[in-house]
Structure 1
Amino acid sequence: MNKHLFWTASFITASVVLASCGNSAKQAQQNPADMAVPVVTTQVSKEHITGIDTYPATIVPINEVELRGEVGGYITAIFIKDGQQVNKGQKLYEIDRSKYQAAYNQASANVAIAKANLDKAQKDADRYNKLAQQDAIAKQRVDYALTDLNNAKSQLAAAQAQADNARVDLNKSIIVAPFAGTIGISQVKLGALITPGSTLLNTISSDNPIAADIAIGQDEIPRFNRLRTAKTDSLFTLAFSDQSIYRYSGSIYTIDRAVDPQTGTIKIRLSFPNPQHALRAGMTANVRVLNNDTGEQVVIPYKAVTEQMGEYYVFVVNNNVVSQRNVKLGSRSADKIVVREGLKEGETIVVDGIQNLRDGSKITEGDANKQSQK
């Protein structure tokens, strides 16, 4: 009897213990989902922002020409130093002028002879015309004189054309700068023989103003068309790799004629003053363009933003419960970013601990780092 009671009591006690353990395990499984997640929050505020879009740029000359001789011969003089600044019309190279000078002298002499022949033919024609009026000479002789006069005029025109060509060749034996700019490293030395239209002498490029080329998406073309006529200063600035900003602002020089069908972009050429010649063709920089984010804007820490399938979200707090909200982002500056749509000033958002949240999670202000380490 006592043994039976002991066994029954033991069975009841064990059942109670097992039930208690089962309930504790069940509660342990349910509590984490219902527990408040410790996070760090901040209040959404507005700040004065200078919104800037950045585009990789290459510095290029507005004008650049390869210098080649139009006449052949040996280089007899080089008037400039490599890398020198030159003015329009300044002498750069001289090609042996002796044969071109001789050809011009010969052509000039032929012009003088043709003028003398024309003068004689004119006098003969005048004299024969007077005699013809007095019936003192045959009409045929007058016709011959007029023919000689016309031939003399044609010979003078031909001689003058030859002299003009000879003068052009003589002038072309001196290579001059077609515009003001910087000359490159000479590709020929004194005494070098050059071939007309073939031998490269040097390259000259303009450098004040100088240009910066960027590529923009075709959807940005309307915006840049508006910027082209904008009167606002400092719309376009240059930033270098060391984060320094070029002292002069630029303007749109031209927009290319067509969109590249392979990339969907179009080239924009910007013009910048370059009086100190600090910008050199071939340099790389970033063009900074003011955008619509300039002014008082809603700004949040960038780390508060999450991305899902190309969409951006933040966790907004209301009565210690978070809701995931889609936002439209603007310009980013350091560790902050502009929110163009989706948030209002004064709302509270989560900035730390977002990796532990989902839509509808309960939160509490705490050490989000400890929670993330569990």
Structure 2
Amino acid sequence: MKTTLMLTGLFCLLWCTACSEKEEEKEEVTKYLVTAPLKKDTTITKEYVCQIRSIRHIELRAQQRGYIQGIFVDEGQMVKQGQLMFQIMPQLYEAEVQKAEAEAKFASIEYKNTKRLADSNIVAPNELAMVNAKWDKAKAELALAQVHLGFTKIKAPFSGIMDHFQVRSGSLVDEGDLLTTLSDNSKMWVYFNVPEAEYLDFKTKTQNSNMSKVNLVMANHETFGHPGIVETIEADFNNETGNIAFRATFPNPKGLLRHGETGNIQMVVPLKNAIIIPQKATFEVLEKKYVYVVGKDNVVRSREINIAAEMPDLYIVKDGLAADERILLEGIRKVHDNEKIHFDYQDPHKVLANLKVYTE
């Protein structure tokens, strides 16, 4: 009886041990998640550092020498076209006008008297011509004196915003001295540099009107409320950088943008038949991007890929990967090159949907 019980117990022990070994073998089989690239039409947003400039930004300089007698505007003030801004002491130029008026009046009387004598053949016609030339000279000098007097009043050549003053009331200024600057901010010119390859893409796709529309991200990381339009491209490339300057025009109805600001231009670029993969399916070695490609023999092999563009959680592959190949999605740090794996395949549409990224 004891022998029977011992045999029965030994059999149970062996059976349990065998079951345990089978369970351990099952636990040792690790499955990885595999997917494929998604090939579809999409758009990407490219960003460029930009400089914001007023559509008109000029320096106001003195055109006459003299003392600043009056300043009729304030720094940062909005002025209208023709509004008086500075007055240079005019007495000297007023006296010059009065002198020129007197000389012109004298020349006029002299001409009239000589003409009467010429009509009576008392003086030669050449003398009349000389007196007439003298009167013309006097009138020209009067006009010039009036222009100089007009230069003592500096008026706004267009409506815009004043910058800070370079002079104060009572300052002595020479001809050409800087008084202030004036900016017309009704529209803004935004300049940004584009690499040669992207310039060529832009030129071949500008039939699509959306390609010429751009957005401006301001320094506070907020998007400006009005889109701009790319209107001008400079003639020459910069040989040192390989870039060419674009200029976009933005409306500025509320005057939020000011001359000298910086920001980033965002341009939406369409891509046809783009190869899209999740970023988490890649790894980096010496600043190069790689994926594990799963072959038909279920063996993973690392392969370098080139990235055409980056989106949130996604890469658009330029080359190195075909749309019909399978790539390792999870467990990248656990496998080795040329290792055979067990895996579950997940449709790329489902993978991208789980990333919560819009690729339309």
Give your verdict on TM over 0.5: yes
Name whichever structure is richer in strand by fraction.
2
Contact persistence 1:209–1:273 (CA under 8 A): yes
1:1-374 equivalence runs, <5 A: 39-45=32-38, 49-128=42-121, 141=122, 144-197=123-176, 199-226=177-204, 231-232=209-210, 235-293=213-271, 297-307=274-284, 312-318=289-295, 320-341=298-319, 343=321, 348-365=326-343
| Aligned 8 A contact 1:37 1:361 in 2 | no
3-state SS of 2:120 partner: helix
Q: Distance in 2 between matches of 1:339 and 1:177?
A: 55
CA offsets per residue over residues 184-213 of structure 1, 9 Å max, x none? Answer: 01122211111111x321111221211222
Query: C-alpha separation between the residues in 2 aligned to 1:93 and 1:50?
Result: 53
Q: Which amino acid aligns with 2:49?
A: P
Answer whether contact 1:301 1:335 (CA < 8 A) is retained: yes
- Cα 1:223–1:48 change in 2 (3 A) is closer
Match of 2:186, SS state, is coil
| CA drift at 1:241 | 4.3
Please list the CA deviations of residues 297-344 of structure 1 after superposition, one character each: whole Å capped at 9, or x if unmatched. 443211222345775432233453224345443332221222355556
Label 1:110 to 1:214 Cα distance change in 2 as closer, same or farther (>3 A): same
Quickly say closer, same or farther: Cα 1:48–1:115, change in 2 above 3 A.
Answer: same
SS of 2:181's partner is strand
Q: Which residue of 2 aligns with 1:15?
A: none
Moved more, 155-164 or 48-57: 48-57
Q: Is the 8 A contact 1:228 1:252 kept in 2?
A: no
* Amino acid in structure 1 at the alignment position of 2:100: A
Cα distance, 1:265 vs. partner?
2.4
TM-score normalised to the size of structure 2?
0.77
Structure 1 pair 36/106, CA: closer, same or farther in 2 (3 Å)?
farther
- Larger radius of gyration between Structure 1 and Structure 2: 1
Q: After superposition, give the CA deviation of every residue in 1:64-100 in whole Å (9 maximum; x if it has no partner).
A: 2221101011111212111112233322111111211
SS at match of 2:63: coil
Distance 1:266 1:107 in 2: 55
Is 1:37–1:362's contact at 8 Å kept on the other side of the alignment?
no
CA RMSD of aligned residues (A): 2.9
Q: Where does structure 1 lack aligned partners over 5 or more consecutive residues?
A: 1-34, 129-140, 367-374
Q: Secondary structure at the match of 1:281?
A: coil
| TM-score, length of structure 1 as denominator length | 0.74
Larger displacement relative to structure 2 (93-102 or 106-115) = 106-115
Amino acid at match of 2:110: N
- CA gap of 1:85–1:230, structure 2 versus 1, over 3 A, is farther
Check conservation: 1:329, 1:338, Cα contact below 8 A.
yes
2:5 corresponds in structure 1 to none
Return the letter of the residue paired with 2:95. Answer: A
Q: Give me the whole-angstrom Cα distance separating, in 2, the residues matched to 1:36 and 1:244.
A: 50
Aligned to 2:185, the other structure's residue is in SS state coil
**Percent of residue pairs identical:** 29
- Can you give the 5+ residue segments of structure 2 that lack an aligned partner in the other structure? 1-27, 345-360
Aligned letter for 1:152? V
Which amino acid counterpart does residue 46 of structure 2 have in structure 1? D
Aligned residues: 316
Per-residue CA deviation, residues 12-41 of structure 1 (Å, 9 max, x unaligned), is xxxxxxxxxxxxxxxxxxxxxxx9775443
1:182 CA drift (Å): 1.5
Conserved? CA contact 1:238–1:288, under 8 Å:
yes
Distance change in 2, residues 1:233/1:261 (3 Å) = closer
Please identify which structure carries the higher helix content.
1
Distance 2:134 2:43 in 1: 75
The residue type paired with residue 192 of structure 2 is I
Distance 1:152 1:202 in 2: 46
C-alpha distance 52-145 of structure 1, shift in aligned 2 (>3 A): same
> Which one is further off, 74-83 or 343-352?
343-352
